[in-house]
Amino acid sequence: MSTNHERATAGARGRPDYIRIEGLSKHFGDGGGGVLALKDIDCGIEQGSFVTIVGPSGCGKSTLLRILAGLLDYDIGRVVLDGQPIRGTRRDVGVVFQSSILLPWRTILENVMLPAEVLGIPAKQARERAMQLLQMVRLEGFEHKLPRQLSGGMQQRASIARALLHDPKILLMDEPFGALDAMTRERMNLELQRIWMESGKTVVLITHSIPEAVFLGDRVFVMSPRPGTLERVLPVDLPRPRSMEVMSHPAFAAASASIRERFSHAASFD
C-alpha cells in the first residue's frame, strides 16, 4: 500500500473528528415568512477523509458548506474545526465553487496566485507554490494562458490549484463539475481523487450525481428534503485508488442503489 494511500485513508482509522457538527440549524428570514434550511445536523468528519454530500435541490447542501467555510453564520448548534468554533472565514479552509470564477484578464498563474495578495504571502513564495500546484493539477505549460484559452475542465483544475495556494487543511467543493460534460466530468473525478491522495487534504464535496458521490467518497452524507437533515451516513467500502471500472463492482452498485432508493421521487439527480 502506497504512502499516499495511507495518508489519504488515515481518517478511516478511528481518529477523532477534525470537523464536528452538533445540533446545527439554520433559519433564513423572520417570522412566518422565514425558511428553515437546516435542522438538527449532527456529524463528524475525520482528518484526511473525503466526504461527499448528496440531497434534493434546495435541501441546504450549499448552506451547510458555506457554514463550514465561515461564509455564513448559523442560529443553533455548534460547528468546530480542529477544536475551534467556526465563526467567520479561516485561513485553513479553501473553497471551490461550481464556476471557476477566474479573472479573465489575468493569466492562469496570476489567478492561482490571487489568494497571496489577500493573505499577504510573499510573491516569490507564492509563485513557487503556484508553479508546484499547476504541475500537480497537470497545467504546467499553461501558466501564461488566459482562462478563455483553456477548456472548462482545465479552468476548474486551475481553481482547485488557487484554492490550495495557501495550503489549507480542508478543501470545500460546491458542485465543482456540474457544468462539465459527462466525459470531462469523469476525467475530473479521477484527477480530483489523485490530487486528494497526493495532498492529504480533508475534502468535503457537494454533488447532485450519485455515481460521483460514491466514486469519490469515503463516506456519503445523504440529506433529506428541506428542512435539510442528515438522513444517513453511508460508508463506501471500495479500495483506493479507484478507476472508472469500479462502477461495475457490486458494492458500488449497492451503495448507489441505496441512495437512489431514498430519492426515487426526486428528479434532481444526474
DSSP code at position 129: H
Do 107 and 235 share a structural domain?
A: no
Do 245 and 206 share a structural domain?
A: yes
Do 150 and 119 share a structural domain?
A: yes
Of the three residues 115, 147, 167, the one that is the final residue of a domain is 167
pLDDT given for residue 267 in this prediction: 46
Do 178 and 66 share a structural domain?
A: yes
Do 80 and 189 share a structural domain?
A: yes
Task: State the cell numbers at 180.
Answer: 462539465
Of the three residues 167, 187, 206, the one that is the final residue of a domain is 167
Alpha carbon distance 212, 173 (integer Å): 13
Q: Does the residue 176 lie in any domain?
A: yes
Looking at the 3D structure of the chain, how many domains does it have?
Answer: 2
Strand order in the sheet with 50-54: 93-96, 170-174, 202-206, 50-54, 219-223, 230-235
Do 251 and 203 share a structural domain?
A: yes
Alpha carbon distance 243, 240 (integer Å): 9
Do 244 and 133 share a structural domain?
A: no
Alpha carbon distance 37, 225 (integer Å): 9
Q: Does the residue 30 lie in any domain?
A: no
Do 192 and 59 share a structural domain?
A: yes
Question: What pLDDT digit, counting tens, does each position of 108-121 carry?
Answer: 999 999 999 888 88
Q: Does the residue 182 lie in any domain?
A: yes
pLDDT confidence bin for 14, thresholds 50/70/90 = low
Task: State the cell numbers at 208.
Answer: 447532485
pLDDT given for residue 6 in this prediction: 39
The answer to whether 216 touches 175, Cβ cutoff 8 Å, is no
pLDDT given for residue 252 in this prediction: 94
The helix (run of H) or strand (run of E) holding residue 203 is strand 202-206
Question: What pLDDT digit, counting tens, does each position of 174-226 carry?
Answer: 998 888 888 889 989 999 999 999 999 999 999 999 999 999 999 999 999 98
pLDDT confidence bin for 265, thresholds 50/70/90 = low
Of the three residues 121, 136, 167, the one that is the final residue of a domain is 167
Spatial CB neighbours of 188, under 8 Å, sequence gap ≥ 6: 153, 156, 157, 176, 177, 180
Is it the case that residue 4 has pLDDT exceeding 50?
A: no
Spatial CB neighbours of 137, under 8 Å, sequence gap ≥ 6: 157, 158, 160, 161, 191, 195
Do 182 and 143 share a structural domain?
A: no
Q: Which domain holds residue 185?
A: 1-9+45-92+169-265
Do 111 and 67 share a structural domain?
A: no
